[in-house]
Amino acid sequence: MLTYRPDKFERAFHLQDGAALWDFLRQPENRLRMETATYLGRPAIEPLSPALVQAFGNQVRDHQIRQMIGHMVRQIMEECGYRLDRSGVRIRRRNNIFFSGSRYLAPDSA
């Protein structure tokens, strides 16, 4: 089982119950959301916004928390064999708490 490495987000991880966020992101339905977004060529983080707000409230709108969530998503995607394709992909969907995210390539892509 993968353990989150907070690196520069150590403080935010401990102040904002990062363990609960980590567990939430690793749930099978959220992994499926990330993988589906990747399949569609979108940032893996994009479909997580509504579920994150529902589960954690407005605390996830904090800039540092959103960055930490992106950091967590990257570790999860890499654990599943995905490779970073591009960072900073704009998210234009209304009411999404994320403005941009990273796009990944599937493990079987060349």
Q: What are the DSSP calls for 13-71, one per residue?
A: HHHTTHHHHHHHHTSHHHHHHHHHHHHTTS-TTGGGHHHHHHHHGGGGGSHHHHHHHHH
User: Domain range holding 94?
Assistant: 8-105
- pLDDT one-digit tens code per residue, 23-58: 999 999 999 999 999 999 999 999 999 999 999 999
108 or 106, greater pLDDT: 106
In a domain, 35, yes or no: yes
110 pLDDT tier (thresholds 50, 70, 90): low
Q: How far is CA 77 from CA 12, 22, 62, 82, in A?
A: 21, 13, 22, 5
Structural domain count, the chain: 1
Partnered with residue 90 across adjacent β-strands are 100
- pLDDT one-digit tens code per residue, 12-23: 999 888 999 999
CB of 91 closer than 8 Å to CB of 40: no
pTM of the model: 0.94
In a domain, 110, yes or no: no
60 pLDDT tier (thresholds 50, 70, 90): very high
